[in-house]
Amino acid sequence: MSHPKENPPHAVDIVLCIDVTGSMSSIIETVKKDALTFHNRLADKVAGKGKSLGQLRLKVIAFRDFGDRADDAIQESEFFQLPAEARQFEKFVRGLRATGGGDAPESALEALALAIQAPWERELPRTHHVIVMFTDAAAHPLGKHRSKARTYYPKNIAKDFDTLFDQWGHENSTSARMDPSAKHLVLFAPDQTPWTGISETWDNTLHARSRAGHGLDDIYIEEIISTIAHRL
């Protein structure tokens, strides 16, 4: 008598785009504290839904403002496989400092553009690609400080917002970078430009609103884990 074949486990890639300007110190400390337990907690949450988690990789893109101090406006890690590389992941996150930022809008769209172009897992079955954006501020228009910060500005990212939308992928997209069946975008961001527009027009997007200029004191890793597990 044959037995039904077990479904393969889920493979999850997560890119955390983290605003590391001064007002964000609370969420930085939360991420640092929870780094080593992230894998087990997500696996438990997924198991509670009758599913299993196979590969989990996390990547961090920390951002400030290219119009303020271009040399430290972006800090980008590689993908870390958890739990095997949990210590390397923790070391990178512990090195982040919430400081600076200049004016109120930040260079979050540059971080989002880099995330969309990440080297996502494409070989394993049942893959999920998740971008989580943490910010308590609006974002400068993409490319606003490209000329001013030429030496440090990321190369080969979308030149403007319309191109970024095309790279995210939509019905008429000509250059989508992510698999439409695998992608998810979670925004912990204020009800400001461009986040409101993204949540209304980009598919597979969830917007949890933060308070502009007040950090993310009410957002915790457990909520992120629950959101991701729910979307698998």
Q: From residue 119, how far is each of 39, 92, 192, 206 by CA, in Å?
A: 20, 19, 29, 22
The answer to whether the CB of 63 falls within 8 A of the CB of 73 is yes
**Percentage of residues in the chain with pLDDT exceeding 90?**
48
**Of 28 and 166, the one with more pLDDT:** 166
Residue 118 confidence class, pLDDT cut points 50, 70, 90: very high
Residue 231's pLDDT band (cuts 50, 70, 90) = confident
How many helices and strands in the chain, by DSSP H and E? 7, 7
Would you state the torsion angle of the CA atoms of residues 28, 33, 35, 39, taken in this order, to the nearest 10 degrees? -130
Q: In terms of Cα–Cα distance, which of 198, 73, 59, 197 is closest to 146?
A: 73
Residue 213: DSSP 8-state: T
The arithmetic mean of pLDDT across residues 88-94, rounded, is 89
- DSSP state string for 99-160: ----SSSBSHHHHHHHHHTS----SSSSEEEEEEEE-SS-BPPTTTTTTTTTTTSPTT--SS
Residue 88, pLDDT > 50, answer: yes
Tokens matching residue 150? 């030429």
Alpha-carbon distance of 73 to 211, in angstroms, equals: 22
pLDDT of residue 3: 41
- CATH of region 10-231: 3.40.50.410
- pLDDT at residue 90 in the model: 86
Taking residues 13-36, what's their average pLDDT? Answer: 82
Check if the beta carbon of residue 54 is closer than 8 Å to that of residue 10: yes
Tell me what the mean pLDDT of segment 116-142 comes to. 92
pLDDT at residue 1 above 50?
A: no
Question: Per the structure block, which two tokens stand in for 48?
Answer: 């509670």
